[in-house]
């Protein structure tokens, strides 16, 4: 069974640009979570999608948005990039009340 | 507001030693607790999941315990190996559909010396 996959592995953008990160959950999982791991700040919850709907979001500005597609894959968009957005972005998927499984992450660097 | 703390922040031990990592949380109304391993620059690997009704879980050389009333969990690693070197994170899932998110601890950086 394939795990959670994320693309791209690395992404380099300049300040002010937009970044799009993608996540494919484990087959059969309907919930997708996004987390940000910035240097020195630990893992912070960003967004939760379930059955195509945004269910909850963390304490992040509206520049961070996303969506979940009918096949349950998800996209995270970050607009008007700032230097502080440089981080490892992790996606996780879950089915029902089971544990969350994480992908390998996308390393976003904003210069 | 749930807060999760891990002690120690860093730990260095010689190969073969048994060790304990600690995790504490402020709100005991948790649904479950997970222990993860993270290698540098990589994603998270789930090690153990303990449901709120359970006291411990075991997988190979790993044993995790949960004491909800005192807000504590420990991860015991037996006969440590250099390959165990990584950052270990604990995370709790609180009750409540609207807050269905993992809250992570600060992590313990483990180095096992050969």
Chain A residues touching B103 at Cβ < 8 A? 45
3-state secondary structure of A84: helix
Tell me what the mean pLDDT of segment B51-67 comes to. Answer: 95
Contact A33, A91 (CB under 8 A): yes
Instruction: Give the confidence band of B95 by pLDDT, cuts at 50, 70, 90.
Output: low
Residue appearing with tokens 């690395």: A10
Averaged over A49-60, what is the pLDDT? 92
Distance between A55 CA and the closest CA of chain B, angstroms = 7
CB spacing of B89 vs A45 below 8 angstroms: no
Determine the residue of chain B that is closest to A4 in CA distance. Answer: B43
Contact between A92 and A103 under an 8 Å Cβ cutoff? The reply is yes
* Range name among A19-28, A92-101, B53-62, B78-87 with the lowest pLDDT average: A92-101
Say whether pLDDT at B76 is over 70.
yes
Is the Cβ of A57 closer than 8 Å to some Cβ of chain B?
A: no
Q: What percent of chain A has pLDDT over 90?
A: 85
Q: Percent of chain B having pLDDT more than 90? A: 79
Lookup: tokens for B45 = 């690997």
Please say whether the beta carbons of A106 and A11 come within 8 A: yes
DSSP character string of A37-63 = EETTTEEEEEEEEETTEEEEE-S--TT
Instruction: Pick the residue from chain B with its C-alpha nearest to A54.
Output: B98
A45 interaction partners in chain B (CB closer than 8 Å): 101-103
Using CB atoms, pick whichever of B44, B98, B99 lies closest to residue A90: B44
At A98 the pLDDT is 72
Tens-digit pLDDT profile for residues B23-34: 999 998 888 999
So what's the pLDDT on residue A41? 80
Is residue A34 within 8 angstroms of chain B, CB to CB?
no
Q: B96-112, pLDDT tens digit by residue?
A: 655 578 899 999 999 99
Whether B65 has a pLDDT exceeding 70, the answer reads yes
For residues B25-51, average pLDDT: 92
Residue partners of B42: CB distance under 8 A and separation at least 6: A104, A105
Which of A55, A99, A104 is nearest residue B100 as measured by Cβ atoms? A55
């Amino acid at each position: 069974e394939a795990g959670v996959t994320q693309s791209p592995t690395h992404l380099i953008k300049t300040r002010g640009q937009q970044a799009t990160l993608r996540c494919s959950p484990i087959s059969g999982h309907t919930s997708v979570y996004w987390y940000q791991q910035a240097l020195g700040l630990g893992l912070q919850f960003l967004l939760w999608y379930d059955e195509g709907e945004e269910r909850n979001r963390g304490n992040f500005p509206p520049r961070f948005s996303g969506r979940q597609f009918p096949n349950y894959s998800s996209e995270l968009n970050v607009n008007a990039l700032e230097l502080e957005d440089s981080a490892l972005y992790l996606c996780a998927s879950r089915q029902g009340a089971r544990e969350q499984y994480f992908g390998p992450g996308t390393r976003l660097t904003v210069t | 507001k749930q807060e999760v703390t891990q002690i120690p922040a860093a730990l260095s031990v010689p190969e073969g030693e048994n060790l304990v990592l600690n995790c504490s949380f402020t709100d005991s109304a948790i649904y479950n607790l997970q222990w993860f391993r993270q290698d540098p620059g990589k994603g998270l690997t789930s090690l153990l999941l303990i449901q709120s009704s359970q006291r411990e879980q075991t997988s190979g050389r790993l044993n995790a315990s949960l004491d909800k009333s005192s807000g504590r969990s420990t991860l015991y690693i037996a006969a440590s190996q250099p390959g165990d070197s990584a950052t270990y994170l604990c995370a709790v899932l609180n009750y409540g559909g609207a807050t269905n998110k993992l809250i992570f601890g600060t992590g313990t950086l483990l180095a096992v010396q050969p």
